[in-house]
Amino acid sequence: MNNTLHDIQHPTANWLVQHALDRADGPLLIQENGNTLLKNFHNRCDELKDELLIPDKVRVFRKAGATVFNSDGHFPFGAELSLRQNIRYAANHARVTTDLRWKKGTSLKQAVAIGSAELPGQWTKVFVVPADGSTPAWHTLTPGTTCRFTPLPLTLVFVNQRGQRLEIGTGGDLWRWQKGLSQQSLHNTAAVELTVQTDNILFQRLVSVNPGIEEECLPEPRDYRFTSFLAWSAPALQQQPAAPHEFTALDISGKEGLSRKQLLDCASPLCVSLDFNWLELPQQARQTCGQGYCWESKITQRFVRRLIRQLAEFSVEGFLEITGGMTPGLCDDPVHCSRKNNALHWDLTAILDLAAWMQQRLGNGWTTTVTQPAPWNELPSLSCLAAPNGFRLPNEQNDEEADD
């Protein structure tokens, strides 16, 4: 028995994630119903993969309903580049933050790849959500072929012969992925490359590439952060149709959120629905590239969290339907990301953050469903927004949030 291996398992869903506690990389694998969907999730700087990292700190703990894997490590070669990873597991997804520290004078000979992996087994098709706002589409995967998607898609959903799905997506910080390692001679159009084979797919997510010129590429020395996410099929957590109750649509257009009178007028047990399309928030909370509100906006987050707190404080149990508006979109308002300029982002991971917090805040007495319209109903990440996070500690504060 290998005592360095640590399994993370959801208590009510048949999935397992495995990390090595003596390595600053991973996850080593993700399984659903006993079948391995992903192996060797890793980062690469030229020929240096993070399996070569000397671990400086590795720990696994629970917080805010999630299991968190933290690792710090450095390469014991050359300028000793370092990598830090924070991964939060809840419901059927993992939110990943990767920090790369690039040292002064370190050259890039080939490429930097963040969040590459092997997908074992036979995969038949992939659903690609482009970053330019064009229509998402299915692509057939044929063994013996290679595919390249550039610019970097927002997310890709792979389907295997068993019908299981694995999603590999980009976090909200699209501007970081697009800028890459900030050096003029580098090719900084991030891309995904797929090598489709009979028994696996090699998935490579490139951030910056040396195009092969003789001049040395010297990226700007600093810390680079990239966020991403993984999600997978979890039929046991799949949202079920709303309970057979009469739901009351709540008015959420007021500045103060829900009134106590509104809630007292509802039937008991509390059965209510919220449609976030009917929020009336300031214009600066809206997506600049879409019709809805941006979930990266602090205005949107604060107001919706106020609504959820008001429900939780009114009753420890109830039924909640979210009938609209909890869908992602593109936006380039830099204020939403606490920046001054250059901040193209999309807000799916902000929705995942909100959903994980919502389940933690409402507690086990509430039953929630979230409706997702096409094409967002194809994404595993959005299929279990109302599912239990799975890793709540006894006596954990309901309003506590996970650290980045």
The whole-angstrom separation of Cα 227 and Cα 98 is: 6
Which residue is it, tokens 């602090």? 298
pLDDT at 404: 42
Residue 379 carries which DSSP code? -
Which residue is it, tokens 């979890």? 234
The phi, psi pair for 362, rounded to 5°, reads: -70, -35
Report the SS3 class of residue 235. Answer: helix
The phi, psi pair for 156, rounded to 5°, reads: -130, 135
Give Cβ neighbours of residue 235 (< 8 Å, ≥ 6 apart). Answer: none
The whole-angstrom separation of Cα 257 and Cα 308 is: 10
Q: Are 199 and 122 in contact (CB under 8 A)?
A: yes
Distances (CA, A) of 202 to 16, 81, 165, 347: 21, 25, 16, 27
Q: Are 69 and 89 in contact (CB under 8 A)?
A: yes
pLDDT at 402: 45
Q: Are strands 318-324 and 366-370 parallel, antiparallel or unpaired?
A: parallel
The whole-angstrom separation of Cα 241 and Cα 356 is: 20
Q: Are 349 and 171 in contact (CB under 8 A)?
A: yes
Q: Can you give the length of the chain in residues?
A: 404
Say how far residue 97 (Cα) sits from the centre of its chain: 9
The whole-angstrom separation of Cα 94 and Cα 234 is: 13
pLDDT at 298: 97
Q: How many other β-carbons are positioned within 10 Å of the β-carbon of residue 31? A: 18
Q: Are 60 and 32 in contact (CB under 8 A)?
A: no
Q: How many other β-carbons are positioned within 10 Å of the β-carbon of residue 99? A: 15
**Amino acid in the structure at residue 184:** Q
Give Cβ neighbours of residue 117 (< 8 Å, ≥ 6 apart). Answer: 38, 39, 40, 41, 42, 168, 203
Q: How many other β-carbons are positioned within 10 Å of the β-carbon of residue 133? A: 12
pLDDT at 2: 61
pLDDT at 188: 67
Tens of pLDDT along the chain (404 residues)?
467 999 999 999 999 999 999 999 989 999 999 999 999 999 999 888 888 899 999 999 999 999 999 999 998 876 779 999 999 999 999 999 999 999 988 888 888 999 999 999 999 999 999 998 899 999 999 999 999 999 999 999 999 999 999 999 999 999 999 889 876 666 667 899 999 999 999 999 999 888 765 567 888 899 999 999 999 999 999 877 666 678 999 999 988 999 999 999 988 889 999 999 999 999 999 999 888 999 999 999 999 999 999 999 999 999 999 999 999 999 999 999 999 888 999 999 999 999 999 999 999 899 999 999 999 999 999 999 999 999 988 776 665 554 44
pLDDT at 182: 74
pLDDT at 243: 64
Q: What is the DSSP string of 158-202?
A: EEETTS-EEEEEE-S-HHHHHHTT--TTSB---EEEEEE-SSEEE
Residue 305 carries which DSSP code? H
Give Cβ neighbours of residue 273 (< 8 Å, ≥ 6 apart). Answer: 247, 248, 249, 250, 320, 321, 322, 323
pLDDT at 228: 98
pLDDT at 91: 96
* Beta-strand runs (E) in 66-189: 66-74, 82-90, 93-101, 111-120, 123-129, 137-140, 145-149, 155-160, 165-170
